Amino acid sequence: MTAAGAAVVHSVFEWAGILVGARLYLRGAGITLQGLGSTRNYSVVIGCVIGAAIGNKAVHWIHHAEQWPLLANAPWLVLQGQSIVGALLGGLIGVEIGKKIGGVSESTGDRFVVPILVGLIVGRIGCFIAGQYDDTYGNPTSLPWGVDFGDGTRRHPTQLYDMVFAVVSLLVLRHWRPVLAREPGLQFKLMLAGYLLWRLFIDGLKPVPYAFPGGLSGIQFVCLLALVLYLPLVLRQLTRLKA
């Protein structure tokens, strides 16, 4: 597959994941696209979209800090690249800002759990097909399930690992949903914290374009910082649920 063909395939599945996720969100919230503008959910969704778009690019460029000098002569390059971790964290911040603007006080996070995980699965299909032209493949491996993405080297199919994580998360959270629902927002917090921990681990199997302290990649470094701030919130709610 050529680079242009890979880019097209990746974009198709990326947008398919976004559209499927959006559809699932609207269905879970019990609203239609036409009726979205007349509800307070409008500010939440807009905040999510804008925050995710900004975070998406910001974390990508943290991960590729070695390319910062290129931006001085070609600032439009900042629009390239993406990061699911950045989209999740940016979306989280955007939702909270949107809730403040729209006067929404109740927790809205749990509505995003299924859309995010299903969208992740769909999007990673495109990443896997794009192979060596995408920035998500793993390091070389001798394991029997290693995949040759076209460069003659068998690598960890980390895109598939992400899909497995999403499927398992969906099943686990569905099983525990009746219990977790007693603490609104806890399902989302567990999903996000779990994914950040997962990426902190699994990105150790990927190439590191720019090493941060401890040899961490930019995405791992962001995950670690986010977990330091976010895990206390998760533990607080878990403690309330147990009580």
Among 158, 224, 161, 159, CA closest to 193: 224
Q: Is the dihedral of CA 232, 187, 50, 209 positive or negative?
A: positive
pLDDT over 70 percentage in the chain? 95
The reported pLDDT for the residue numbered 32 is: 67
**Closest C-alpha to 140, from 157, 125, 126, 124:** 157
Q: For 2-15, how does the pLDDT look when each residue is reduced to its tens digit (9 = 90+)? A: 766 777 887 888 88
Angle at 226 between CA 62 and CA 221, to 5 degrees: 40
Q: Indicate whether 19 pLDDT > 90.
A: no
Q: What per-residue confidence (pLDDT) applies to 220?
A: 97
Question: What digits encode the pLDDT tens for the residues 123-175?
Answer: 999 999 988 888 889 999 999 999 998 888 999 999 999 999 999 999 999 99
The answer to whether the beta carbons of residues 86 and 56 sit under 8 Å apart is yes
Residue 205 has pLDDT above 60, yes or no: yes
More confident residue, 46 or 220: 220
Share of the chain above pLDDT 90, in %: 59
Mean pLDDT of the chain: 89
pLDDT digit string, tens, across residues 27-68: 877 776 666 655 667 788 889 889 999 999 999 999 999 998
E strand or H helix at 85: helix 84-102
C-beta separation of 73 from 66 below 8 A = no
**pLDDT: which is higher, 122 or 134:** 122
